[in-house]
Amino acid sequence: MSASSAQPASPQASIARPGTRLRKEFFVSTFVIVLTVLVGTVCIFALASTLTQSRILSLSFDGVPASIWKLDSVRQDWSALRKQIADQTEALKAANSANLMLEDRGTKAAQGLNWAKEQLKDTLYEVSASLSGIDNDLSDFLSGSADYGAKVARLKASNARLRNGQASLAGVLDQFDKISGAYAIAKTEYDEYDAESKGLNQKITSLASGIKSIQDSIDVVFSKITKNVDAPTRARIENALYELNPTSTWFSKAISWFVILQPDVLSLILVVLMGVLGSSMQILHSLFRGDGIQSFGDYVLRLSVGAITALVIFIVAKAGVPIIADASRLNGDAPINPYFVSFVAIISGLMSEQAIVTVQNQGQRFFANGTSEPDRWARQDLNPDLAAQNLDVPTLARYLTISNEAAEAILKGSQRATSEQQKIVAIYLRKSVRDLFSDLPQR
């Protein structure tokens, strides 16, 4: 060996390795924690959506259970009509506000017109009196019952003739010109108010009628669900539609996306997510115990095993195999309790090894046909393998349904194991039967 190859590693390299390990531990730990938070958040959405869907599906109309997809179809029409009502209601409120403001303007216009009429009336009487003996025909017309517009028009038509013929009438005619001008302005303002008021009143009537028509259309939409849309039924339908109708927030939209899923699909999604959550809890627990950082691939595999185990346990329980305390709560077509489903899925992911062994035992019993593999002995003492994986003998003995002493003897190779016991030990240690057992006893 040359001198150069025998030289020790540099101090920098010795320092770099612990630093690299620390960085790896930090990134992996952060990844696991962030993943757990994200999975927990999605589980919240799935569980809340399952509860909402279960509550909606508990409704029945005309003796027929509610359908999520039918309600969602009605919800879309109902939501569009509600938006139209909201728009027209806002327009109606704006029209009523404008009408109130216009009323103040109309009051002032009416007062101004009345004042101008009184002034014009007095002025016309004064002109009529001044024309007595000069133009009796015009004087009688001005003091008669004709409307003010006709009187003003005729007097204006005679204005130039009267001024040329009678200089004494100039003062009263100037007063008439002034008052008639003020009257014309007041009349124009009042006419404008009156036209605008009539237009607004017509708009208010049209909007109110439109809102009533849309409300009738909502009743027609509700009739798609049930023909007997009485007040209590309408309230129940609206409550369901409000729960299905997403608001502008991302949380509400996410919940709505989950809620309108097919119920069985939503249940399976909840099971898988809760299985992943259980595996995440197992990973975090191992980190807190200081078991060391594993690779990303190991963690992804554990999460996958948790999801698959939860799904398998759920399917087996739905099949009626008694692997849990109350399998009837998952059996049949009765509504599923989301909390119970979540609990089963979480513990399946959290204790995936034990869950696999349990399913294995049930499978062995189900497919037992009287034939089995020969008994074998452990190739070597398997207790170090248990200790390396933080497993214990009493738990294994419980799965094997034998005493702790018998399980210890099987692990040491002093007692032979049946084919079923070999498979259970192999699953428990996550190894193959071929690697653990031999046809020859230990010497």
Over residues 117-157, the pLDDT tens digits come to 888 888 888 888 888 878 888 888 888 888 888 888 888 88
Residue 261 has pLDDT above 60, yes or no: yes
Q: How many other C-beta atoms are found inside a 10 Å radius of the C-beta of residue 161?
A: 11
Q: Which residue has the higher pLDDT, 1 or 404?
A: 404
Q: Where does the pLDDT of residue 9 fall: very low under 50, low under 70, confident under 90, or very high at 90 and above?
A: very low
Residue 182 has pLDDT above 80, yes or no: yes
User: Which pLDDT value is given to residue 18?
Assistant: 58
Residue 369 has pLDDT above 60, yes or no: no
Give the amino acid at 319: A
The CA distance from 243 to 72, in Å, is: 10
The CA distance from 90 to 95, in Å, is: 9
Residue 11 has pLDDT above 60, yes or no: no
Are the C-beta atoms of 338 and 51 separated by less than 8 Å? yes
Over residues 69-125, the pLDDT tens digits come to 888 888 888 888 888 888 999 999 998 888 888 888 888 888 988 998 888 888 888
Residue 411 has pLDDT above 70, yes or no: yes
DSSP labels, 106-167 = HHHHHHHHHHHHHHHHHHHHHHHHHTTTT-HHHHHHHTSS--HHHHHHHHHHTHHHHHHH-G
The H or E element containing residue 354 is helix 352-366
- The alpha helices in 245-294, defined as continuous H runs, are 250-259, 263-288
The CA distance from 418 to 407, in Å, is: 12
Are the C-beta atoms of 36 and 280 separated by less than 8 Å? yes
Give the pairing of strands 64-65 and 437-438. Answer: unpaired
Mention every residue, 6+ apart, whose C-beta is less than 8 A from residue 214.
Answer: 81, 84, 85, 88
Are the C-beta atoms of 396 and 436 separated by less than 8 Å? no
* Of 5-9, 57-61, 300-304, the least confident: 5-9
The CA distance from 224 to 238, in Å, is: 13
Q: How many other C-beta atoms are found inside a 10 Å radius of the C-beta of residue 429?
A: 19
Are the C-beta atoms of 344 and 322 separated by less than 8 Å? no
Q: Which residue has the higher pLDDT, 248 or 328?
A: 248
- On the 0-12 / 13-18 / 19+ scale of CB atoms within 10 A, 204 is middle
Residue 30 has pLDDT above 70, yes or no: yes
**What does the pLDDT average to over 372-399?**
84
**What does the pLDDT average to over 39-64?**
82
How much of the chain, in percent, has pLDDT values that exceed 70? Answer: 84
- The distance from CA 254 to its chain's CA centroid, rounded to whole angstroms, is 5
- Residues facing 377 on adjacent strands: 438
Residue 2 has pLDDT above 50, yes or no: no
Residue 322 has pLDDT above 60, yes or no: no
Q: Where does the pLDDT of residue 63 fall: very low under 50, low under 70, confident under 90, or very high at 90 and above?
A: confident
Name the one residue in this structure whose structure tokens are 């919240």.
Answer: 44
* Of 2-11, 70-79, 346-355, the least confident: 2-11
Q: What is the overall mean pLDDT for the chain?
A: 79
Angle separating helix axes 148-157 and 68-130, nearest 10 degrees: 50
- The distance from CA 10 to its chain's CA centroid, rounded to whole angstroms, is 59
- The alpha helices in 223-245, defined as continuous H runs, are 231-244
User: Which pLDDT value is given to residue 126?
Assistant: 85
Q: Name all domains of the chain by residue range, CATH numbers in brackets.
A: 69-222 (no CATH), 369-443 (1.10.260.40)
User: Which pLDDT value is given to residue 330?
Assistant: 54
The CA distance from 96 to 197, in Å, is: 11
**What does the pLDDT average to over 403-432?**
87
Residue 21 has pLDDT above 60, yes or no: yes
Name the one residue in this structure whose structure tokens are 């349990």.
Answer: 358
User: Which pLDDT value is given to residue 370?
Assistant: 46
User: Which pLDDT value is given to residue 7?
Assistant: 47
The CA distance from 413 to 391, in Å, is: 18
